[in-house]
Every structure is written in structure tokens, then in C-alpha cells.
Structure 1
Amino acid sequence: MHGTGVPLITPFDADGDLDEERLREVVRWVEDGGVDFIVPCGSNSEAELMGVEERARVVEVVADETELPVLAGTGHPGLSETLRQTDLAAEAGADAALVVTPFYYGHDGETLEAYYRDVADESPIPVYLYSVPTYTDVKLSPEVVGRLAGHDNVAGMKDSSGDIETFQRERRLTDDEEFDLLVGSGSVYAHALASGGDGGILGLANVAPERASEIFKLHQAGEDRSARQLNAELVELNRAVTSKHGVPGAKAAMAERGVDAGYPRKPHREVGDDVRAEIEALVDDLTP
């Protein structure tokens, strides 16, 4: 996976059920916005609020709707559920699996490495590591990443730590392998690309797919200064629809752009009027 990927928002109706037609519309929206690949069932997708079969159905709908590569989130706290989810994703048409670090219980680096080797050994599709310590309180070390990069079925990683030093170390330790290193924080996208990243999986790309994609295109054209400048302009919007207001904020921002992304699934709640006004102002200022 290279370029700009989107951890696809999952639309739910007012009763909390998956809205498949809206999901298809969201796929078309991000595709028209220029993203390079689609990531259903990630953190921004509310995957942890969905069951195994429901997540598989989301992947199936997305894979049916798009010709872009599909990197499906399949990670669970336990190995058995992760392997089952990965098999279902492959059957649904996913091209690769994004596997979050096991969470809830604490695990040391040796345990995490063994876990990923087990997943990669059994997975019918390539595996991407996923480190998102903000949500899991688990962070893969660059040394573990470097060793796992040598596995034949470990294809890359999404690093959502936001730590450029860690990202640079991961790049150095995986340089000798065919390993796609992707950043998960839109606020440092341009900086990660300049540090050797192959792309990003950005919550921002749900709201402003054309702007997020533009950062990568500027980098490809050798215009890293312009890429950093654009990235800086988008930091407040990115922050509003990720760390500050989360999925409800992202869905409100998409509505402002004319995209019906449905309701957030409980226990999430829709944003209030003050937050909606804040988000609308950011969207109006920073998107075409």
C-alpha cells in the first residue's frame, strides 16, 4: 500500500444498524477525492463497536464498491478472533489485513513479536502491523518492527504514535526489506513522507480526501516545502476530527461537506451545537 489511505468512516442509521447504502456513498466520496487505498474497520471506522460478522460485511461492501486496494482492519485482543476475522476479510475481498496490537492485557515486546508471527504464518493475505498507543496503551518498539519486517507475510505497518523519531527509526530498521511504512497521524503526514514514509492512513481523508491526497502528490513531485505548508494548514481540522472530537466530529465534518456519514454508534453521541459550529468553520476555511 502506497499513497494516501483512508480509515473509512462507517455509517450507522438512527437505530445503530449498519447503513450499507450510505457506506457505498462514502466509498465513492473518498474515491472521487483521490485516495489511493481504502481501510475499512479501523479505529475511525468504529470497528471495536462492531461484531466479527458485521465487520466482515463492511469489508465485503467496500470491496464490492471499489476497485482500489482494500486493507481491512482485522485485529482483536486475542489470536483466535484475529485469525477468524482475517480469514473472513480475505473471503470478503480484502487485499491485506491491518492488525492492531493486542490490547487490554499488557504484553512485552517478545510476546507481541510472537503474536504477529503467528498471525502472519496463518493469514491468507499480507499482514500490516498497527501501532496506535493512544487507544491501546501498547506501542510496538522499532526493534520488534525491524525483526518482523523480515517475515515473508508481513508487508508493512501503520504507525499512529505521531512520534517522528520512532517513525524514522522504524524506517531505518526496515530499509532492507519490502516493507510499506505508513503514518497514521494526519498532523505529521508531510514530515513522515520526508522521513521515508510510503504513505499514510489518515482520518482527515474522510473529511478532505482531496487535500490529504494533495500532500502526497506534492511530496512525489519533490515539493516537500509546499507539502509541509499544506499539512500545517490542515492541522487544526485534522485535530478536530480525530483526537479532539473523534468519530462524531468526523461525521459532523462530513455532513458539512455534503456527505451523509450517518450516526455515530453508541456510546458515541452526536456533537453539540458549539462543536458543530467549530467544525463547520474549520471545514469552510480549509476545504475547496
Structure 2
Amino acid sequence: MTQTAPEPGTSDPLGLCGVVPPTVTAFDDEGRLDEAATAAHAAFVVDRGADAVFPLGTNGEFAMLNAEERRRVVETVVDAVDAPVIAGVGCPSTRETIANAEHAERVGADGVVAVTPYYYPVDGDGAVAHYRAVAGAVDVPVYVYHIPSKTGNELSLSTIETIAGIDGIAGVKDSSKNVPWLAQAIDSNPELTFLAGSDSLLFTGLEIGCSGVVSAVANVFPELVADLYAAYDTGDEARASELQSTVFDVRSALKRGPYMSGVKTALSLRDTGFDVGGLRAPLRAMDDADRAAVETELTELGLV
């Protein structure tokens, strides 16, 4: 139950709110899935203030995993945490998305997150049919993952409104960074839970009605993002805004170097007791110069 932060949607049986990190998938030195470190990271964020976890999002490198690895990640994280697990299940095809969703439900995930189908263009009618089929296949809540910059498929406001009427659709994780679109979607669909999906818009997302935040920064510094949410929820918007400024600085540091390398680099700079390894090719790690710069920036912020 929230205090002054936005309430989750009435169609969301999980009542998702607060901080939901898109947890990382760990690899060993040979590039193989490291289940122990994947579990340790999920437990790490929950122990330090996360309210739920989202394995197999973008930060979880889901598109780099084969079907069996994806399923092992879900099983691993479900067993690792005492918090809601909303597992990423999205694929280009409806058939494979349903298979992943059924598996996630079977092994104990509390909900599933289905990114809009990608690679091929999908119109509004196709998106509605896709989400109707996924929601009809499982009894756990389904959350739409809207990230048109990566999928190439943007959902119109009218399409979101139609999807909202499907039984089993509980919410939307929006990473479009389109604030007017998000504000209108929230206004038109109060029954849905909305999760702000960019660290650049944590405070803004709460201001316009998101009940929670899916934060990559929270993968490394869950305490920081949990403090931001707690400040907002207790009515201290000035403090929440100040912490958003710190998140901006952390986000800038993590965006150094190759795409997605910042989170795992920064995790290696914390004394966590586990090693999530590098990224799966063709994604690649930071070079020594970028790593040193990240360490300097995070040290100056007092975070490592």
C-alpha cells in the first residue's frame, strides 16, 4: 500500500509499486550462464530495497539467450528471492511467447512481462491479438513491455486502450521515454499499473501516475532508487528530486563505453561477494580507460 505515491492499477492482482530492477543475467569466464551469480544478484537487489524483480528484460540480455537458458534464469530467480518475480517472456512470435509464459507460470513466477513483438512490423490489430493470446494462455498477470526504440513497434494510445480491456492484462512497463504518450496512457487506463522504464524519468514517472519504476541503476545501487521512491511516497518531493539528480549522474557514468556495459562494470566495483561476469557477444565489456573513468565518477558521488 502506498502513502502519497500513485496506486497500482485496479486490474493488477500483484499491486506492483516501488522499485523493480530488471535484473542481470550472469555469465562465467567461458560465457556460460552462471546460475549462482544470477541468483545472488537478484537476492542482492531485494535485500537492499527492491520491491520486485524483473529477470530477462533488456538488462538481462534476454535476446542473447537460447530458450533453455531463458527458462533456467526464470527458475533460478524464482528460487532466489522472497519478492514478486515478473519474468520476461517476450519473443517475436506469439507461439514462443506463450510457451515461455506457460513455463514461467509453471515454475512459480508471479507475473510475466511480454515485450512487443520485434523485428517484423506489427500493427495495432496484430498487437492486440498477440496480447490476447498470451493473456489467455496463463493465469498470472501479464504486463506489456513498450520499448519501440528497440522493437521497432510502437503501440498507439488507442491500441493500449484496447489491450487494457483484455482479461489478464495488468499493466505496462513503458520505456518509450515519450512523456506525453505515457501521461495520456495513464490518464486513459487507470485500471492498469504503469511502470516508468527509464532512469531519466523516475521522478517524472511518479509525478504523472506511475506506481513503480523499472530502474537499471537499481541493479547496481538499489538503495539509491529505493530511497528516491521512499522519499516520494512519504511526500518529500524535494528529496526525491534531489535523488533523481544523483540518478542522472549515475546513469551518465553507466552509459560510458559499449552499450549495456556500464551496469556490470559498476557491479564489479561494489563489494557484493559475487561476480556477474561480462556481456554475451556481440555485446562487449568496457576497456580499461572507460572502467577507470566510471570508477572515478562513482567514487566522486560517494557510491563506491
Q: TM-score by structure 1 length?
A: 0.95
Aligned to 2:77: 62
1:103-128 deviations in Å (ceiling 9; x for gaps): 10111122212211121111232100
1:201 aligns with 2:214: yes
**Distance in structure 2 (CA, Å) of the matches to 1:235 and 1:27:** 23
The one of 97, 100, 103 aligned to 2:118: 103
- Shift of the alpha carbon at 1:245? 4.2
Greater Cα shift, 62-71 or 144-153? 144-153
**Distance in structure 2 (CA, Å) of the matches to 1:68 and 1:243:** 31
1:172-222 deviations in Å (ceiling 9; x for gaps): 1112x2x11001101110111011111011111111100011111111011
Q: TM-score by structure 2 length?
A: 0.90
The letter for the 2-side match of 1:82 is T
1:237 aligns with 2:243: no
Aligned to 1:22: 37
Aligned to 2:236: 223
Aligned to 1:142: 157
**Distance in structure 2 (CA, Å) of the matches to 1:104 and 1:243:** 27
Greater Cα shift, 242-251 or 217-226? 242-251
Contact 1:71-1:95 within 8 A present in 2 as well? yes
Aligned to 2:21: 6
**Distance in structure 2 (CA, Å) of the matches to 1:142 and 1:218:** 31
**Distance in structure 1 (CA, Å) of the matches to 2:203 and 2:167:** 29
The letter for the 2-side match of 1:209 is P
Aligned to 2:6: none
- Shift of the alpha carbon at 1:143? 2.0
- Call closer, same or farther: CA 1:281–1:71 in 2, change over 3 Å: same
1:149-193 deviations in Å (ceiling 9; x for gaps): 222200001000112111101111112x2x110011011101110
- Call closer, same or farther: CA 1:191–1:216 in 2, change over 3 Å: same
Q: Helix, strand or coil: the match of 2:285?
A: coil
What are the residue-to-residue correspondences of 1:54-133 with 2, within 5 Å? 54-133=69-148
Contact 2:256-2:290 within 8 A present in 1 as well? no
Contact 2:170-2:193 within 8 A present in 1 as well? yes
Q: Helix, strand or coil: the match of 2:144?
A: strand
- Shift of the alpha carbon at 1:242? 5.3
**Distance in structure 2 (CA, Å) of the matches to 1:126 and 1:153:** 5
**Distance in structure 1 (CA, Å) of the matches to 2:259 and 2:48:** 21
Unaligned 5+ residue runs, structure 2? Answer: 1-15
- Call closer, same or farther: CA 1:125–1:243 in 2, change over 3 Å: farther
1:210 aligns with 2:217: no
1:252 aligns with 2:265: yes
Using the aligned pairs only, state the percent identity: 34
The letter for the 1-side match of 2:202 is Y
Aligned to 1:181: 194
- Call closer, same or farther: CA 1:211–1:92 in 2, change over 3 Å: same
Runs of 4+ in 1 over 6 A off after TM superposition: none
- Call closer, same or farther: CA 1:240–1:114 in 2, change over 3 Å: farther
1:204-262 deviations in Å (ceiling 9; x for gaps): 11111000111111110111222122112221322443596433221001111123221
Unaligned 5+ residue runs, structure 1? Answer: none
Q: Helix, strand or coil: the match of 1:129?
A: strand
| Root-mean-square deviation over aligned CA pairs | 1.5
1:48 aligns with 2:63: yes
